[in-house]
Homo-oligomer: A and B are copies of this chain.
Amino acid sequence: MRLPRIAVLPLLLLGLPPAASASPTTDVAPKPPTLADVLAQSSAADWRRPEPEDTLYLDLPGGRVVIELAPAFAPAHVANIRALAKEHYWDGLAILRSQENYVVQWGDPAAGTPEARAFKQARRRLPAEFARAADGLAFVALADGDVYAPQVGWSGGFPAARDPATGMAWMAHCYAAVGAGRDNAADSSNGAELYVVIGHAPRHLDRNITLVGRVLQGMEILSVLPRGSGALGFHETAEQRVPIASLRLASDVPEKDRVDLEVFRTDTPAFARLVEARRHRREEWFIDPVGKVELCNVPIPVRVAAAGKS
């Protein structure tokens, strides 16, 4: 069967060596590694296991969505989300919104009414956490530029941006980013309504809303949810909403029921090789090797850990 290979993400990557340049190379130069090579040659130190306290399991009829929280960027929101998960706040609530090329969002359809579900330990109001001081935050820069921010790259495994002029850093709204919905007031989010980016990166939301993490696994469960027929993709009837079976911290789930994921580190020479392999597309399929890569087009690989590893 003829297989039009316009997609090459997981299987067919060929890259240049990390220090590729226009200088002459000899015939004995090693073949540039593919993404598969980069991953196959990786050591245990190139991967990290997200902390169970930073990992959420959103269980839906379609399966489990795994989210990694980013306490370095949004400590107050992450603490509240942990509290809400421990209260089983979201269990039996629903996905309220699915907007084409934008976001899926869940929470309490009765929020703001007398029928709203009560908070127990969780706080009703939090400070805005749109950005934080770049100081003290490890940051791996991407050299390729960006339309929206003076500098972009990765911090703690999350796509991020920073501004040397202001000394601030923030997470970037790439595909799979998870944020806390708010009303017009900057401090009107409390983490009870969460959204996930399912379309082209809405980077204009950067620094306008608090991002709390990103989806590691299960995007294909969220992205195919039928779009809502109401304004902004909200569902108009209870029947249209997808119910949430449960939303738990991995640390509150018995170890045997956890998903043992490993995330490729973004602060290693191996990740630099991965970025280079995405910047210069030397796969046989590519006619033009491109030579540039945009932040949200760099994958951060996630794998299920080999059985038996501790």
Contact = CB atoms under 8 A, between A and B. Distances in A.
B100 A3 contact: no
A6 interface: yes
* Chain copies in the assembled complex: 2
Given A6-B195, A224-B227, A219 B111 contact: no
Interface in A77-104: 99-103
B1 A110 contact: yes
Interface in A276-310: 278, 281, 284-288, 290, 292-294, 296-297
Contacts of A204: 278, 281, 286, 290, 293, 297
Interface stretch (A68-76, A179-187, A254-262): A179-187
A220 B112 contact: no
Given A101-B219, A101-B223, A148-B290, A202 B297 contact: yes
A223 B101 CA distance: 8
21 contacts: A2-B193, A3-B234, A4-B182, A4-B183, A4-B189, A5-B183, A5-B184, A6-B182, A6-B205, A7-B232, A100-B219, A101-B176, A101-B223, A147-B294, A148-B292, A175-B199, A199-B199, A200-B296, A204-B290, A204-B297, A208-B286
Interface of A: 1-7, 9-11, 99-103, 105, 107, 109-113, 128, 130, 144-148, 174-176, 179, 181-184, 186, 189, 193, 195, 199-209, 219-220, 223-227, 231-234, 278, 281, 284-288, 290, 292-294, 296-297
B100 A220 contact: yes
Chain A binding surface SS class = loop
Contact of A130 (B110, B203, B209, B287): B287
A102 B200 CA distance: 10
A103 to B, nearest CB: 6
